[in-house]
Chains A and B, each alone.
Chain A
Amino acid sequence: MMPYLIRRFAQSAFVFVGLITLIFFLARVTGDPTDLYLPLIASREEREAFRHERGFDRPVMDQYAEFIGDVVRLDFGTSLWLSSPALEPVLNRLPYTLLLALLTMTLALAGALVLGSMSALWPSSWIARLTSFVSMVSVSVADFWLALVLIIVFAVKLHIVPTSGMGDWTHLILPIATLSLPLMGRLSLVTRTAVREQLSAAYVTTARAKGLRTQRVLIGHVWRNASLPILTVTGIQLAGLINGAVIVETVFGWPGVGKLTIDAINHRDFPIIQATVFVVALMTFAVNVIVDLCYAAIDPRIRYQ
């Protein structure tokens, strides 16, 4: 196990250097930050002076070398836009995104396991038809549209939840509903397929022949075997959620990493963009390692050396 983890970390170090390099150069391909920071009517002299002061006029390779050195010390520079060290706002926003991501994933996964399993067990029941209908609709619906409809119905018309923003737990309801609905749809389709496949396996017939009740068969045997594909999809989706649910965070005014990233891009704030990408890559890496470890825990045939 340990050698595996060490190897994973070593590999990811290369990926991180590559990623940081890519981001550094891509950010500069989109243009000169001076133009965005200064008002449009600023004179050419003012632009030159600003460029010089901030070091944007130095050779790109010099800027890059200095940048890599700073990143090693976790110093992503000072944000021009927020006038604070770049990592600070990212770390401040991360808990909000994590809260949203983990609650969403828990809810979606629980719902999907129940709905997907029921659809697999009773494929011609009304619940199976309803599940596949709701899944198809929720996967196809655009999240910003869903978010706005939920706001109008549940906040403006029914007054039962706040429209947006932060505060008590009621503020979480609409963002989580918006995020988890499509996720639940996707996961319940995966669950249904995986469970149905297992249900036709010989060991299920054996278990049933022993006289085990459906719940026991499902929980003790089928779910464990069906969980690998579900875990794979969950891992990918969770990584996506942790990257910041950009649209949902923007619509609901939720101060997470996704909204920060978009705002930083709009302000052409290199340091924050770079810090965000770094932190998000780290989180994605963590999710992947956890998923790998879960594989091994679930399936005894999988061993990492």
Chain B
Amino acid sequence: MGNDSPKTRFSDEMNRRTLLRTAGLAVPAAWLAARGPASTMAQDQGGQQKITVVLPEEPPDLDPFYYALSHIPVTRNIYDGLVNRAPQGTDLLPGLATEWTATDPTTWRFTLREGVTYHNGAAFNAESVAFAFNWILSHETRATGTFVEGSVVTVVDGLTLDVTSPTPDPILPRKLFFVGLPEPETFEADPAAALRAPIGTGPYRLVDYRGGDRITLEVFPDYWGEAPAITAADFVYRTESSVRVSMIEAGEAQIARDIAPQDAQQTRAVAITIPETPFLRLDVPSPPLSDLRIRQAINSAIDREELAKTVFGGYAVPAGQLVTDTVVGYNPELVPAPYDPQKAQQLVEAARADGVPVDLELTIFGRNGIYPNAGEAMEVVLIWLQAIGLNVTVNMMDVAAWTDVILQQPIPEERRGIIQSSSGNELGDASGPVTGYFTSTGPQSPLRDPKIDEMQAAALVLSGEERNKAYQDLLKYVHDTHMPVIPMVHIQAIYGLAEGVTWEPRADNLILLKDVQIAG
């Protein structure tokens, strides 16, 4: 996909010369050009390799306990967690813990890595992990919810740690992937300051944090793992995807996160399917949406292939459920519904014949920017739904107003909403979406089905293949009997890479500088 071949380079040069001459700007331009491009090219001086990574937004702090897209591309280079993930899936790999086993249904035992030090020289051991876990258990942090309430952390010896929970917590290691481990002494002394002056055990340490401008990291010489090739990095922020691409093309940045599909042709783009699934949330209590046939009709009216191809520029795959195939509970039987407007129309007509008020106006409550081309996606959905005889309008909203709509409980019967939403599943486990979207107490759930609540309660405490099976059954049951959500596609994250940069995008959206290589 790269367009930086010698040939285009040459024609760029030619362009530049002829254009400048005609514009009569040659002298000042030459002077400016002689100053060299501004500062941030990849540099290779005496074994020093520095790159610039451009992100869509600035992390307002560097909280080790906050697993958010705004933070993790930076923070996960500074902090390690007990466990890491395989780059392309959700399988766990050793991190600061080399082993973890459930010694009984309510106890997890972690064996820690030896010889690890923090950026300030402090030693890492079971006490430091216990500090972080106890902090989360006793303070309000952005990682609250990691542990079952009432869990107890016990230091067994210098490098062994037990976590005991009042009820079984089979996915604790999975959840601990989201928790970075800060150096206890500095963190405890001033937790607020530690958010801006982070000290972890990761391969990079903070050099400079200039709000609004950039965050600079440099390699940590005493890192426990292999020494990375990249010795320093700047993280900068540009809201516009096209500007991020321009920075790659101008040589100002080497990695750009979150490129819009329409900008991807302009640069060397790499993509990976991430656990992010745009879907439509239906107001199940409102007629005519209360009739299952209407919900099934909507499901068959969406041309997922076309949506993936045009709206997402080919950077998406059709979805038949809210979770991707790397997630525990993914049910291979739930294939994406084929596009079948005739079947959909028949379902609508059958409902009409039974006296269902199919002509009542439905509203698509869209949210601007929830994913790339969110408005366009809702426009085509509108056309598809009108084509099968439903009376639909679109109302695109900003995040604040939209949030009020999707969280409103109980759902007002006269609203008749089809709400644009998107399900992320960083945890890699179907329990999250099931709780949030399907159970009676779920903040976004349109359902009140005791059977779902029971199945969920039973599945939550299972582990391994039993858990997988239980969630597969649950997803199938919800799909067959309720269909409260219409999954559309699984989207891909697109990154722009400068010529000569070798790096594989990860399903978890991390940008681990230690995995980046630069040619030359």
Interface residues of A, Cβ cutoff 8 Å to B: 30-32, 35-36, 40-44, 47, 53, 81-83, 89, 92-93, 96, 148, 151-152, 155-168, 170-171, 250-253, 255, 259, 263, 266, 268
Chain B: CB-nearest residue to A88: B211
Of the 9-residue stretches B269-277, B401-409, B488-496, which lies at the interface with chain A? B401-409
**Shortest beta-carbon distance, B141 to chain A, in Å?**
12
| Separation of A44 and B15 alpha carbons in the complex (Å) | 60
| Separation of A43 and B399 alpha carbons in the complex (Å) | 19
Q: Contact: A170 with B400, CB < 8 Å? A: no
Chain B: CB-nearest residue to A153: B19
- Confirm or deny: B252 has a beta carbon within 8 angstroms of a beta carbon on chain A: yes
Q: Contact: A160 with B436, CB < 8 Å? A: no
- Confirm or deny: B37 has a beta carbon within 8 angstroms of a beta carbon on chain A: yes
**Shortest beta-carbon distance, B422 to chain A, in Å?**
10
Chain A: CB-nearest residue to B237: A253
**In the complex, which of the residues A41, A53, A158, A253 contacts B432, with contact meaning CB atoms closer than 8 Å?**
A41
Within 8 A of A (CB), among B247-271: 247, 249-252
Q: A36-B399, A157-B12, A268-B400 are in contact. Are A163 and B247 (CB under 8 A)?
A: yes
- Confirm or deny: B61 has a beta carbon within 8 angstroms of a beta carbon on chain A: yes
**Shortest beta-carbon distance, A25 to chain B, in Å?**
15
**Shortest beta-carbon distance, A164 to chain B, in Å?**
5
List chain B residues, Cβ under 8 A from A82: 60-61
Chain B: CB-nearest residue to A159: B37
- Which 4 pairs between the two chains have the least Cβ-Cβ distance? A255-B212, A162-B38, A41-B436, A35-B403
List chain B residues, Cβ under 8 A from A250: 239-240
Q: Contact: B192 with A148, CB < 8 Å? A: no
Q: A83-B192, A151-B246, A155-B250 are in contact. Are A40 and B403 (CB under 8 A)?
A: yes
Q: A170-B32, A253-B237 are in contact. Are A148 and B39 (CB under 8 A)?
A: no
Q: Contact: B211 with A255, CB < 8 Å? A: yes
Q: Contact: A253 with B16, CB < 8 Å? A: no
Q: Contact: A255 with B213, CB < 8 Å? A: yes
Q: How many residues on B have C-beta within 8 angstroms of the other chain's C-beta atoms?
A: 51
Q: Contact: B16 with A157, CB < 8 Å? A: yes
Between A and B, 12 residue pairs with Cβ closer than 8 Å are A40-B407, A40-B443, A41-B436, A41-B443, A92-B212, A162-B37, A165-B40, A167-B38, A168-B38, A170-B38, A253-B239, A255-B213
- Confirm or deny: B20 has a beta carbon within 8 angstroms of a beta carbon on chain A: yes
**In the complex, which of the residues A36, A41, A163, A252 contacts B400, with contact meaning CB atoms closer than 8 Å?**
A36
Known: A83-B61, A165-B38, A252-B243. 19 other contacts (CB 8 A): A31-B401, A35-B400, A40-B403, A40-B443, A41-B436, A43-B443, A83-B60, A83-B192, A92-B211, A148-B240, A151-B242, A155-B250, A156-B246, A164-B247, A165-B238, A166-B212, A167-B38, A251-B239, A253-B237
- B 380-413 to A, binary, CB cutoff 8 A, 1 in contact else 0: 0000000000000000000111011011010000
Q: Contact: A30 with B61, CB < 8 Å? A: no
Q: Contact: B33 with A171, CB < 8 Å? A: no
- Confirm or deny: B35 has a beta carbon within 8 angstroms of a beta carbon on chain A: yes
- Confirm or deny: B348 has a beta carbon within 8 angstroms of a beta carbon on chain A: no
Q: Contact: B16 with A159, CB < 8 Å? A: yes
- Confirm or deny: B444 has a beta carbon within 8 angstroms of a beta carbon on chain A: yes
List chain A residues, Cβ under 8 A from B39: 162, 167-168
Chain A: CB-nearest residue to B192: A83
Q: Contact: B403 with A159, CB < 8 Å? A: no
